[in-house]
Structure 1
Amino acid sequence: MPGLIIFLNGTSSSGKSSIAKELLHTLDEPYFHMPVDAFHAMRTRREISQEELPAVLRRTWMGYHRAVAGMAAAGNNVVVDHVLSEEWRLPDCLELFGAAHVVLVGVHCSPEELERREQARGDRPAGLAAMQFQRVHAHGVYDLECDTTTASALDCARQIGAFLPQRPTPTAFERLRTELRPGLPAPGRESVALS
C-alpha cells in the first residue's frame, strides 16, 4: 500500500511548518515531514543570476514533487509543506501522486497576520505572502481547511488527525485530477502513479 500524503497548502508564513511539526507529534503512525524549504536549503550557496533563477527553482520544485511521490510509493506516510503559487505545480502533483491517497488541506491566515508574521520572521521578502495570497487557493477544492489566524498549530493538527479516519471519497485530489487532468488514466485506489 502506498503511504498517505497530508498535503498542506498555504502562503508563506501561514503556519504550514508549525502544523506539520505538531502532526508528527500527534499522529499515531510514523510520518515524514518533507518541507520544500529543506530542498532549497540543500542547493549550493553560490550566487544564482536572475536569468538562471526561475529554471533552477522550477527544477527544485519538480525534484521535490518526485521525491515526495517516491517516498509515498515506498509506503511511507508524508506531510508535505507546499505553496501552490504557480499554475504548473498542482498539475504536476496530480500526475505524480496517487490521488486517492492524498489529503489536501488548505492552510489559511488573514493578510494582516501574514504581514505581521513575515516582519517578525525577517527571513522572507516583504510582501511575499500577499503576492501569493490569491493564487495559492485558486483551485478552490480541499478535503479540509484550517485557519491559523486564530487557531494554534496544535489545534489544526488535531483537526487534521480527527479527519483522517473518516476522509470521504472522492478526495479533493481525485476531483481535481478529473477536472484539471481529464486525459490522465485514473490510478487505482491501491496504486500510486509515478512518471
Structure 2
Amino acid sequence: MTSPAPEFEGSPNPPESQQAAGGLIIFLNGTSSSGKSSIAKELVGVLDEPWFHMPVDAFHAMRSGPELPPDQLRVVLRRTWMGFHRAVAGMAAAGNHIVVDHILSEPWRLHDCLALFSPQNVVLVGVHCPVRELERREQARGDRPAGLAARQFDRVHAHGIYDIECDTGSASPLECAQQIKTFLHRRPTPTAFERMRPEGHGHPED
C-alpha cells in the first residue's frame, strides 16, 4: 500500500534558500525493448537522492477511449508525447530529479525536448542493443509488434550525440545504472543537449 503524502504546516512557499534551482534529467533514449525501463528502475535504486522515474509508456497507458482511425490516432499520439515532455519539464523546473525513458524515433520529439529542457541539466544516455537480441526480447515479451525495434533502430540514434552510452546486449541493467551513476560525478560540459540546441532555441515543428 502506498503511503499518503506527508502534510506540512506553515507557508506553502519555502524560504528562498530552499527553493528549487532545477532538477537533473537523466534521459534514456533507445529502441523499444532495448532495456531503458530496466535501467531506469535500477537507477532510482542506486542513486543517492530522491528521483522520479517518468516513463512515456505510463502516459500512453493513461489514455482512454475508443480505437481511432490512423490519422486521428497520430494526432492523439503526438499530443500525448508533447504533454509528456511538458510534464517532465515542469517536474524538473520545480527542482525534482527525473529519469526519463524515451524513443527519439521522430526528429520533432528531440526538437521539442531541446526547446523545453534546461540543456545544462540533461544527461543524454544512448541505450543500445544488437538487433538480434531486440528481436528475441520482442518475441519473448509478446506485447510489441514484430519488427518494431528493428524499424526504429537507425532513426532512434540518428542525431548521433550522447553524453554517455551503454549496451544492454553486453551489460546488465544494474551495470548500466552504475556506469551512469559514476558518470554523474564527472559530467563534462557542454552537454549533448547544449551542443545540439540551436541558437535562439526555436521550436521546430518537424
The superposition leaves residues 132-154 of structure 1 with CA deviations (integer Å, 9 ceiling, x where unpaired) of 00000000000000000010000
**Match of 1:166, SS?**
coil
2:182 alignment partner in structure 1: 162
Question: Aligned runs of 1:55-66 on 2, under 5 Å?
Answer: 55-66=75-86
**Match of 1:32, SS?**
strand
**Relative contact order (C-alpha < 8 Å, sep 6+): which is higher?**
1
Question: Aligned runs of 1:5-154 on 2, under 5 Å?
Answer: 5-154=25-174
What is the total number of aligned residue pairs between the two structures? Answer: 182
Give the structure-1-normalised TM-score: 0.92
| Structure 1: gaps (5+ residues) | 186-195
Deviation at 1:182, TM superposition (A): 2.4
1:175 alignment partner in structure 2: 195
The superposition leaves residues 7-34 of structure 1 with CA deviations (integer Å, 9 ceiling, x where unpaired) of 0000000000000000011000111000
Instruction: Report % sequence identity.
Output: 74
The superposition leaves residues 120-177 of structure 1 with CA deviations (integer Å, 9 ceiling, x where unpaired) of 0000011100000000000000000000001000000000000001100000000011
Deviation at 1:184, TM superposition (A): 2.3
| Matched-pair contact (CA < 8 Å) for 2:55–2:102 | yes
The superposition leaves residues 24-47 of structure 1 with CA deviations (integer Å, 9 ceiling, x where unpaired) of 110001110000000000000421
Separation (CA, whole Å) in 2 of partners of 1:90 and 1:184: 12
| Matched-pair contact (CA < 8 Å) for 2:127–2:165 | yes
| Matched-pair contact (CA < 8 Å) for 2:114–2:201 | no
In structure 2, give the amino acid aligned to 1:119: Q
1:184 alignment partner in structure 2: 201
Separation (CA, whole Å) in 1 of partners of 2:195 and 2:42: 28
* RMSD between aligned residues: 0.9
Separation (CA, whole Å) in 1 of partners of 2:143 and 2:101: 17
Separation (CA, whole Å) in 1 of partners of 2:92 and 2:86: 10
2:17 alignment partner in structure 1: none
Structure with the greater alpha carbon radius of gyration: 2
**Match of 2:169, SS?**
coil
The superposition leaves residues 52-106 of structure 1 with CA deviations (integer Å, 9 ceiling, x where unpaired) of 1110100000000000000000000000000000010001000000000000000
In structure 2, give the amino acid aligned to 1:182: E
Stretches (4+) displaced over 3 A: none
